[in-house]
């Protein structure tokens, strides 16, 4: 009966824990220990399991058809035995396929699945799980990591999951980030795809170890208070022969419509979101990482490509929906159901959309027409800032909107501000390399920009390497330039990132009200001539932090702006501190608030702002009210 129930759910598109049933699992039949196999191959003529254990003989271990599912038991197999499905299609051709639900795979260039029992790992992260809170009023500062190139052994080999966990957890904790986001760890054949073209939606890549090793990685991160977010790719899959591509000789996982089935520029196939079995597969993959690996969030890649039927369709070769529109109605419904399922699994989960268009309500609930994510990457802010930072400072005055326009829509979604791996590859330059001037000036600009990122409403994400002052682009085939820390100037900017992250975490005004105007107020939005913006961030208790950012090469000695009627503003962080390689320009004592009208306010303060720098000052006290003058009494004459 259990099999019948699971099969019914699978074919209805509602099976969300399909890994328990499909794939390969240890079992016992007639007092014999072995493994039971189940695979979906609706148009196959025959399916058998082949591997070293039967000399890859397609006739030795045939599976029996149960509707569209093929299943069978093979005694005597052991963990780590390699296997594939030999799938004979209607065309008579036999294709050797890795297990779509396989838990472990050979390391590339080998492509077979490996038998592996993922049960039995002893988790010790209960305390971390109990402390998890909703993201909206919590600090979230994400360190984006590619495990293969963060750090390597001296001989150039990869670190394994356990060594990565030890070194990365210690580093991230010391640097003050609150979470890591991993470029896809789902098994993938080509290193240069960085994991975004997957063949194993239930298998952490074997490049760094076993499934239990990756569980140990996550558990260790949690024991150090660090959340783990995975990049997850339901938008497309690679066309490698052993993967999902034309699994039984027909389009199983991909659309069968040639106008929908492929992203030609990526060389990948598109999942058929209208096919129930494909939805069950993807729902199960997402839940698998959340449930079996205790993952804290999924960053869903390439959402824009899922939403639009004409996405990257050259020459108008696309099929409209039933209403004649360009929206992929099946993908929309899939995303809504995906997010509902994820939040049912973990109410505090992070479901993050990489979505680059003006699609409305991405981070709003489905019942009000939204997609149901709780966070979305702010690609508009990212593009504006990367454009602005590359400008010669003289011309920035004509592009001031690049640093202010984001506030026109900042609270339309729950945004993450991403400076991700995509911004430091393909001739885009490193973060430091985007800045004008010589290297010292580039470091100065980087400090000012990072302070602006931390102060701008929204959660934060930065790709690894920027904190080192790395001057060239990210190279996925080698580790970060850790040798730079032998230089004093790089140690100084490294210390700045550490201190700035610590300041962010301990300052609720920078994260407690990220998604509404109650947490933000412009003081000086329009000073394009001086390339300066000044604003307040506020916490739920009404405490405010004055944030002044100067994108020009000029220092400003007495920069006056209107402020609330505080008694004074106390300097808290200065990116030009000599400890960070700066000149020390900025206020070191409390700045008094004066009864001088400015910028539409009755009170103002005059502060010092360093070149290409930022200063944060905390408002304290209440401006003293003027004493009422005593009125002379009337004297009788």
Summarised one tens digit per residue, pLDDT across range 582-633 is 999 999 999 999 999 999 999 999 999 999 999 999 999 998 877 766 655 5
Query: Could you give the CA distance from residue 354 to residue 375 in angstroms, rounded to a whole number?
Result: 9
* pLDDT tens digit sequence for 138-174: 999 999 999 999 999 999 999 999 999 999 999 999 9
pLDDT > 70? residue 634: no
- Work out the burial of residue 165: count CB atoms within 10 Å of its CB; fewer than 13 is exposed, 13-18 middle, 19 or more buried: buried
Report helix, strand or coil for 545.
Answer: strand
Share of the chain above pLDDT 70, in %: 98
For residue 413 the two structure tokens come to: 């979604």
- How confident is residue 428, by pLDDT bands cut at 50, 70 and 90? confident
Asked if 145 and 181 touch (Cβ cutoff 8 Å), the reply is yes
Superfamily of domain 2-114: Immunoglobulins (2.60.40.10)
pLDDT > 90? residue 303: yes
Query: Could you give the CA distance from residue 277 to residue 279 in angstroms, rounded to a whole number?
Result: 5
Instruction: Tell me what the mean pLDDT of segment 319-335 comes to.
Output: 94
Q: Please state, rounded to an integer, the average pLDDT across all residues of the chain.
A: 95
Which residue would you say has higher pLDDT here, 319 or 37? 37
Q: Which residue is listed with tokens 């390339």? A: 531
Query: Could you give the CA distance from residue 428 to residue 559 in angstroms, rounded to a whole number?
Result: 34
Q: What angle do CA 441, 447, 450 make, to 5 degrees?
A: 135
- Work out the burial of residue 410: count CB atoms within 10 Å of its CB; fewer than 13 is exposed, 13-18 middle, 19 or more buried: buried
Using the Cα atoms of residue 264, residue 265, residue 268 and residue 270 in order, give the sign of their dihedral: negative
Which residue would you say has higher pLDDT here, 265 or 61? 61
Q: Which residue is listed with tokens 């990367």? A: 386
Q: What is the pLDDT of residue 637?
A: 36
Peptide bond before 109: cis, by omega within 30 degrees of 0? Answer: yes
Query: Could you give the CA distance from residue 327 to residue 324 in angstroms, rounded to a whole number?
Result: 9
Asked if 617 and 587 touch (Cβ cutoff 8 Å), the reply is yes
For residue 122 the two structure tokens come to: 């002893």
Give a three-class secondary structure readout of 357-370: CCCCCCCCCHHHCC
Q: What is the pLDDT of residue 636?
A: 46
Q: What is the pLDDT of residue 313?
A: 83
Asked if 227 and 350 touch (Cβ cutoff 8 Å), the reply is yes
517-620 has the same fold as 2-114: yes
pLDDT > 80? residue 375: yes
Q: What is the pLDDT of residue 629?
A: 62
pLDDT > 70? residue 635: no
Asked if 529 and 366 touch (Cβ cutoff 8 Å), the reply is no
Phi, psi at residue 501, to the nearest 5°?
A: -65, -40
* Domain spans in the chain, listed from the N-terminal domain onward: 2-114, 517-620
Cα dist from 232 to 146, 200, 299, 333, 439, whole Å: 14, 11, 6, 18, 36
Share of the chain above pLDDT 90, in %: 91
Report helix, strand or coil for 83.
Answer: strand
Q: What is the pLDDT of residue 624?
A: 86
- How confident is residue 472, by pLDDT bands cut at 50, 70 and 90? confident
Q: What angle do CA 358, 539, 402 make, to 5 degrees?
A: 35
Q: What is the pLDDT of residue 628?
A: 64
Among 203, 210, 207, 180, smallest CA distance to 194 is for: 207
Asked if 258 and 209 touch (Cβ cutoff 8 Å), the reply is no
For residue 554 the two structure tokens come to: 């000029």
Query: Could you give the CA distance from residue 14 to residue 540 in angstroms, rounded to a whole number?
Result: 41
Please tell me the total number of residues recorded for the chain in this structure. Answer: 637
Q: Which fold has domain 517-620?
A: Immunoglobulin-like (2.60.40)
Among 336, 341, 337, 316, smallest CA distance to 326 is for: 316
Give the β-pairing of 297-300 and 268-269. Answer: unpaired
Q: Which residues are catalytic?
A: 301, 354
Q: What is the pLDDT of residue 623?
A: 87
Instruction: Tell me what the mean pLDDT of segment 295-300 comes to.
Output: 98
Using the Cα atoms of residue 198, residue 200, residue 201 and residue 206 in order, give the sign of their dihedral: negative
Query: Could you give the CA distance from residue 174 to residue 460 in angstroms, rounded to a whole number?
Result: 17
Whether the predicted model's global pTM rises above the 0.85 cut: yes
CA 485 to chain centre: 27
Contacts of 101 (CB under 8 A, 6+ apart): 18, 19, 22, 23, 24, 39, 201, 202, 284
Asked if 372 and 335 touch (Cβ cutoff 8 Å), the reply is yes
Asked if 498 and 175 touch (Cβ cutoff 8 Å), the reply is yes
Give the β-pairing of 82-88 and 46-50. Answer: antiparallel
Instruction: Tell me what the mean pLDDT of segment 439-465 comes to.
Output: 97
pLDDT > 80? residue 488: yes
For residue 582 the two structure tokens come to: 């700066």
Query: Could you give the CA distance from residue 326 to residue 308 in angstroms, rounded to a whole number?
Result: 6
Report helix, strand or coil for 587.
Answer: coil
Instruction: Tell me what the mean pLDDT of segment 276-303 comes to.
Output: 98
Instruction: Tell me what the mean pLDDT of segment 450-459 comes to.
Output: 98
């Amino acid at each position: 009966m259990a099999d019948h129930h699971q099969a019914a759910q699978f074919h209805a598109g509602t099976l969300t824990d399909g890994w328990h049933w499909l794939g390969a699992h240890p079992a016992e039949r007639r007092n014999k220990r072995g493994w039971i196999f189940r695979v979906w191959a609706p148009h196959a003529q025959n399916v058998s399991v082949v591997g070293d254990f039967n000399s890859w003989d397609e006739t030795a271990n045939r599976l029996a058809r149960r509707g569209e599912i093929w299943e069978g038991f093979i005694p005597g197999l052991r963990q780590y035995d390699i296997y594939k499905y030999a799938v004979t299609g209607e065309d008579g051709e036999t294709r050797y396929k890795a297990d779509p639900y396989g838990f472990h795979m050979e390391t590339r260039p080998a492509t077979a699945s490996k038998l592996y029992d993922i049960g039995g790992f002893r988790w010790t992260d209960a305390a971390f799980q109990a402390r998890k809170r909703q993201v909206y009023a919590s600090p979230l500062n994400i360190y984006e990591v590619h495990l293969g190139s963060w750090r390597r052994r001296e001989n150039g080999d990869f670190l394994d999951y356990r060594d990565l966990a030890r070194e990365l957890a210690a580093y991230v904790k010391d640097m003050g980030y609150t979470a890591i986001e991993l470029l896809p760890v789902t098994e993938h054949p080509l290193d240069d795809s960085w994991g975004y073209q997957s063949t194993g939606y239930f298998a952490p890549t074997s490049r760094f170890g076993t499934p239990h090793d990756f569980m140990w990685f996550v558990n260790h991160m949690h024991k150090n208070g660090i959340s783990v977010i995975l990049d997850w790719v339901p938008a497309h899959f690679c066309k490698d022969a052993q993967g999902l591509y034309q699994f039984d000789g027909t389009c199983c996982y991909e659309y069968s419509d040639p106008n929908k089935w492929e992203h030609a520029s990526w060389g990948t196939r598109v999942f058929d979101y209208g096919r129930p079995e494909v939805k069950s597969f993807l729902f199960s993959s997402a839940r698998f990482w959340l449930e079996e690996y205790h993952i804290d969030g999924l960053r869903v890649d390439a959402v824009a490509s899922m939403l639009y039927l004409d996405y990257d369709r050259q020459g108008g070769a696309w099929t409209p929906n039933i209403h004649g529109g360009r929206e992929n109605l099946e993908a929309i419904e899939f995303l809504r159901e995906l997010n509902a399922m994820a939040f049912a699994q973990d109410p505090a989960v992070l479901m993050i959309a990489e979505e680059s268009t003006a699609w409305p309500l991405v981070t709003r609930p489905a019942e009000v027409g939204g997609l149901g994510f709780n966070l979305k990457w702010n690609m508009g802010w990212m593009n504006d800032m990367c454009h602005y930072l590359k400008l010669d400072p003289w011309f920035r005055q004509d592009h001031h909107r690049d640093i202010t326009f984001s506030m026109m829509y900042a609270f339309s979604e729950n945004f993450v501000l991403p400076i991700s791996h995509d911004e430091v590859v393909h001739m885009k330059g490193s973060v430091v390399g985007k800045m004008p001037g010589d290297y010292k000036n580039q470091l100065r600009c980087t400090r000012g920009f990072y302070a602006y990122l931390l102060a701008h409403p929204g959660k934060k994400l930065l790709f690894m390497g920027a904190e080192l002052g790395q001057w060239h682009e990210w190279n996925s085939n080698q580790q970060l330039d850790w040798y730079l820390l032998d230089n004093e100037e790089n140690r100084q900017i490294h210390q700045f990132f550490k201190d700035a992250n610590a300041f962010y975490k301990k300052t609720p005004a920078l994260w407690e009200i990220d998604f509404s105007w109650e947490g933000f107020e412009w003081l000086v939005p329009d000073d394009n001539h001086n390339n300066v913006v000044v604003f307040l961030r506020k916490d739920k208790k009404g405490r405010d932090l004055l944030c002044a950012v100067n994108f020009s090469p000029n220092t400003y000695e007495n920069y006056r702006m209107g402020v609330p009627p505080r008694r004074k503003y106390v300097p808290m962080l200065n990116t030009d501190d000599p400890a960070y390689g700066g000149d020390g320009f900025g206020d070191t004592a409390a700045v008094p608030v004066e009864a001088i009208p400015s910028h539409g306010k009755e009170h103002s303060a005059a502060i010092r702002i360093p070149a290409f720098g930022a200063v944060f000052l905390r408002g304290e006290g209440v401006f003293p009210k003027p004493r009422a003058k005593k009125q002379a009494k009337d004297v009788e004459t």
